């Protein structure tokens, strides 16, 4: 295949590694650039603005046996690879036209983890040292790669990620017999965390990971527990969730017997839990689950928690602390900040419409608040 056809194939196959969370509107979701056959992903910049990433695989060849992945060694994908030079040129053509601001680069495992890492590193070296690119570069690190390869990749990247895939070794063994969970996944995650910790040489580099939701038989409780540990002990910047896509993996996986809508609902609820832990001050053990260890299908976890704790409400909107207001269903960080600013300026709030446009969320919040 020529470069254009390879890029079309590899960009499409790259959809299984997430560069952003699930979107709520057309501006948040990934989109295909039909002219140049690549995927473009929206991201939020550190300054609060928005831009897009160019995303592709370097190769869809893979020696691994991950049962959920269409690119596994026994799969029937049409195999191809880009050279480092082809990858760089494709990305720079987007960059020079102002269509993207950075690159997200992943790959199947070609031969060995270190051989594949070398190809990823070659792309990064060309961009950084030959092309003098100083922008955003996210490298998807390969499970089982050597410490030396991981260190060099981190030295060149703006962000790195290595997929944890599922919650614990027991579930992981259902997905792969070739990879070792502790040696190939957990130990590298710990190493990356140490190398990018605050105060270290590479503290500017962000570390993320991804769970594949529903491929194994893990519960939501287990996923949330592991997510909390990744944030608390390894200081990860973000944890992503990708609902298993039925029909792409091997028959017999739990996800093949689960409705696609249920899998997407689980992904959505887990992202809500992620926000509760990162932005709202919740601890993993406070997230409510049903008797099977899963999140409620018809209620978001924050509202579910509020219903289970009537003793906490109603809150006085003119007296409650920030951490208390953040637990009110319908109130987010922006609205809570407006409430606190209004109170700081000496203004008393008589109804929530005074600090925000009336909508469904504000109407939900009023049932948990008093104003006098």
For 339-364, the pLDDT digits (tens) are 999 999 888 898 888 887 778 888 88
The whole-angstrom separation of Cα 230 and Cα 270 is: 14
Contacts 24+ apart (CB under 8 A), 268-272: 268/22, 269/220, 269/295, 269/296, 269/297, 269/300, 269/301, 270/211, 270/213, 270/220, 270/223, 270/224, 270/227, 270/241, 270/295, 271/21, 271/22, 271/241, 272/300, 272/301, 272/302
Q: Which two tokens stand for residue 18?
A: 């997430």
Distance, first Cα to last Cα, the chain:
71
The whole-angstrom separation of Cα 42 and Cα 74 is: 32
Mean pLDDT of the chain: 88
Q: What are the two backbone dihedrals, phi and then psi, of residue 324, each rounded to the nearest 5 degrees?
A: -75, -45
Alpha helix stretches (DSSP H) within the chain:
3-13, 84-96, 113-125, 147-156, 169-172, 187-195, 220-234, 260-279, 301-308, 322-325, 333-344, 360-366
pLDDT at 51 over 90: no
Of 235, 256, 113, which Cα lies nearest the Cα of 175? 256
Of 155, 161, 156, which Cα lies nearest the Cα of 131? 156
| CA of residue 82 relative to chain centroid, distance | 25
pLDDT at 47 over 50: no
What is the per-residue pLDDT across 255-296, written as a single tens digit (0 to 9) for each? 898 898 899 899 999 999 999 999 999 999 999 999 999 999
Q: What are the two backbone dihedrals, phi and then psi, of residue 206, each rounded to the nearest 5 degrees?
A: -90, 140
Virtual torsion, Cα 203, 169, 242, 114, nearest 10 deg: 60
Domains and CATH numbers, the chain: 3-286 (3.20.20.70), 309-370 (1.10.150)
pTM: 0.89
Q: What is the mean pLDDT of residues 158-179?
A: 95
Q: What is the mean pLDDT of residues 246-252?
A: 88
The whole-angstrom separation of Cα 356 and Cα 369 is: 15
pLDDT at 16: 64
What is the per-residue pLDDT across 129-158, written as a single tens digit (0 to 9) for each? 999 999 999 999 999 999 999 999 999 999
What is the per-residue pLDDT across 1-18, written as a single tens digit (0 to 9) for each? 788 888 778 877 776 665
Of 154, 129, 149, which Cα lies nearest the Cα of 139? 154
pLDDT at 357: 77
Q: Which two tokens stand for residue 96?
A: 């020079």
pLDDT at 56: 87
Of 28-42, 48-62, 244-258, 315-329, highest mean pLDDT: 315-329
Count of beta carbons in the 10 Å neighbourhood of residue 248: 18
pLDDT at 313: 96
Count of beta carbons in the 10 Å neighbourhood of residue 335: 19
Q: Which residue has the higher pLDDT, 82 or 34?
A: 82
pLDDT at 26 over 90: no
The whole-angstrom separation of Cα 276 and Cα 176 is: 31
């Amino acid at each position: 295949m020529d470069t254009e056809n390879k890029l079309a194939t590899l960009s499409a196959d790259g959809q299984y590694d997430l560069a952003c969370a699930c979107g709520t509107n057309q501006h948040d979701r990934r989109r295909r650039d039909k002219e140049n056959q690549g995927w473009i992903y929206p991201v939020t910049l550190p300054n609060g603005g928005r831009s897009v990433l160019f995303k592709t695989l370097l190769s869809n060849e893979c020696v691994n046996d991950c049962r959920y992945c269409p690119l596994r060694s026994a799969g029937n994908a049409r195999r191809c690879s880009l050279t480092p030079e082809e990858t760089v040129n494709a990305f720079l053509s987007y960059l020079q036209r102002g269509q993207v601001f950075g690159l997200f680069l992943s790959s199947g495992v070609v031969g060995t983890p270190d051989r594949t890492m070398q190809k990823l590193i070659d792309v990064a070296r060309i961009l950084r040292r030959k092309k003098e690119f100083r922008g955003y570069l996210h490298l998807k690190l390969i499970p089982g790669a050597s410490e030396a390869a991981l260190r060099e990749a981190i030295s060149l990247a703006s962000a790195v990620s290595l997929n944890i895939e599922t919650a614990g070794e027991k579930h992981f063994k259902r997905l792969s017999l070739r990879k070792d969970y502790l040696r190939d996944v957990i130990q590298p995650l710990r190493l990356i965390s140490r190398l990018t910790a605050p105060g270290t040489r590479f503290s500017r580099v962000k570390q993320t990971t991804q769970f594949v939701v529903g491929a194994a038989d893990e519960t939501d409780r287990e996923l949330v527990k592991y997510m909390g540990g990744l944030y608390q002990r390894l200081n990860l910047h973000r944890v992503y969730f990708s609902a298993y896509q039925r029909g792409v993996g091997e028959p017999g996986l739990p996800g093949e017997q689960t409705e696609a809508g249920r899998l997407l609902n689980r992904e959505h609820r887990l992202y809500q839990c992620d926000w509760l832990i990162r932005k709202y001050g919740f601890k993993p053990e406070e997230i409510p689950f049903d008797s099977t260890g899963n999140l409620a299908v018809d209620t978001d976890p924050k509202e579910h928690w509020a219903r289970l704790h009537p003793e906490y409400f109603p809150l006085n909107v003119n007296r409650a602390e920030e951490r208390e207001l953040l637990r009110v269903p319908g109130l987010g960080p922006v609205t809570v900040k407006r409430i606190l600013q209004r109170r700081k300026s000496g203004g008393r709030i008589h109804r929530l419409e005074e600090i925000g446009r009336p909508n469904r969320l504000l109407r939900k919040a009023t049932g948990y608040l008093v104003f006098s």
